[in-house]
A and B are shown apart, each in its own frame.
Chain A
């Protein structure tokens, strides 16, 4: 089926070349990082994880998003999602590729990366994160590819695909839980030391992930004749709305625990993020933007009239994505490291080079996604199933 990716119009090819150029440019910066070390980043002795790991954390959410389509489709036989199942699975593939990419660029000695496999260490959550991420990638590649192939040949998917699809649904929850455990079990990091962190990760994934997926699908719809169906879009938007409500609720639970308990260490990160601490207020405008965007997105999504307004929807979803990205792709990580174990504030901000390397990985993800979606859309077109009636 890969040959489908090689046939395309000038628009398709200029987009591919554009992505390749970005990847190339980012890669030269990455080579520079390999030469100089992570000193080219804004990280420090106190904030020892930065933008890379934050993006990894955020994208795990995107990887898990497909499950919000696959689960209703397989478990509840919700047929309206038929046209989007493959989109969700392919999105997961691209997202996991980006996750792994961000981990690789974050490692100080990538030449020794295989030590994680040569010396398996079950007491390290990072070991399990590697297992679940790679497992999820494999599951989605196998299930997605096989289903599309059998669809193309107009046959039923082989029997063994079903149990794998069920496994991948449960597995999606595991990638998020394990990634949350990466943070939640650390003594002395009060912003992360919370039993609800895994639940928060899931809630935030199940709103932000499908929102990004829908936005991408809208773009695909603009470019091709692909039409996932009003019903599918409506259901997914409802899921996003519920997940966002839960996400905000969980966050408020954290705020209550931190401040009503009045334990200083528990409130300190919140204080740094939302009002500033020791005269450092770098993240305050960001965090309040996130709050405002989250509120506005809810106001635009909760009333059914506004929610099903197809012209408004891209806007509502975009600000929801921005709000969750600030919360998880910026605040969660920096808030965990600030204040440091000495109660001091060391500020962190990604450098230009760090952003370039990050853009390279996002471009890589976009490339993988473009190719996969091109194949999927072409096959759907051949089958005459590009549009879902309703």
Chain B
């Protein structure tokens, strides 16, 4: 089981990389993930022991700014805009009280009260969504990214009940109904109905040497890097600023930090 899981992880990583190297994916797919897959990794691909994100909410805190990031993210990942409560979101904005419900202040500073906070999957260190998934469709990669295999998900939505941050969305209907099929990003798959999805920390971009789209678009308000490397930019940001994480009491150890 270990072996096939490792192969699977490798395969998943490779398929992400392979989205830009389409022929190799077909080659691998025909191997069905068995045997020793030959390494087809983009030479520029980024690696880390533990990916993490620091968001400076002093610089990034208006609805417009955050919506602009969400738009980029949702566009490149073909996330539909559904106007009902059965919507799908990977990145969205919320007030302080919604983002940090158990850390509300009775007399908050006016500044913080006004701010909006970008929310996304926290890619937790001990993610409850992975713990409960009965098919391993949600799994944690060695680099800390909590990834999903949409083809394996049975849509039981147990992970949605388990995530204490409301980071997951379910495709109640076919997402293609709410996508402009002429404008979709052909490099990234669309999902089918009946599966769960969420922010993937842009694994497909890391695999080709690019930073996550929201980070790139944030004008330096978001930092992305290796938490295990003391010299990384995220560690520098954490060293120099006071940060908090969402709902620490849930014990999942989120990988997204907020500078207040």
Contacts and interface: CB of A to CB of B under 8 A. Distances in A.
A45 B80 CA distance: 14
Interface stretch (A90-98, A103-111, A172-180, A231-239): A103-111
A110 to B, nearest CB: 8
Contact of A37 (B89, B102, B194, B251): B194
Contact of B134 (A49, A126, A188, A346): A126
Contacts of A36: 173, 193
Interface stretch (A15-23, A303-311, A335-343): A335-343
Interface string B148-179: 00001111111011111110011111100000
B131 A123 contact: yes
B136 A37 contact: no
Interface stretch (B27-35, B37-45, B93-101, B206-214): B93-101
Given A119-B136, A343-B97, A107 B102 contact: no
B237 interface: no
B193 A340 contact: no
Given A38-B170, A341-B163, A341-B165, A116 B247 contact: no
A48 B157 contact: yes
Contacts of A49: 157, 161
Nearest to B160: A48
Nearest to A103: B156
Given A112-B152, A124-B134, A187 B98 contact: no
B101 A119 contact: no
A108 B85 contact: no
Nearest to A348: B85
Main secondary structure of the interface of A (DSSP, over half): loop
Contacts of A264: 102
- Range of interface residues on chain A? 35 or more
A343 B101 contact: yes
B94 A108 contact: no
B171 A37 contact: yes
Given A38-B170, A188-B164, A108 B252 contact: no
B81 to A, nearest CB: 13
A39 interface: yes
A344 B98 contact: yes
A282 interface: no
Contacts of A108: 153-157, 170-172, 193-196
Interface string A163-192: 000000000000000000011001111000
B250 to A, nearest CB: 4
B128 interface: yes
Give the residue among A38, A43, A265, A341 with the most B Cβ atoms within 10 A: A341
A124 B161 contact: no
B232 interface: no
Given A37-B172, A124-B158, A341-B166, 19 more contacts: A36-B173, A36-B193, A38-B170, A45-B85, A48-B170, A49-B161, A107-B194, A108-B153, A108-B170, A108-B171, A108-B196, A109-B153, A112-B153, A112-B154, A115-B134, A121-B134, A186-B164, A341-B165, A342-B98
Interface of B: 84-89, 94, 97-99, 101-102, 128, 131-137, 152-158, 160-166, 169-174, 192-196, 247, 249-252
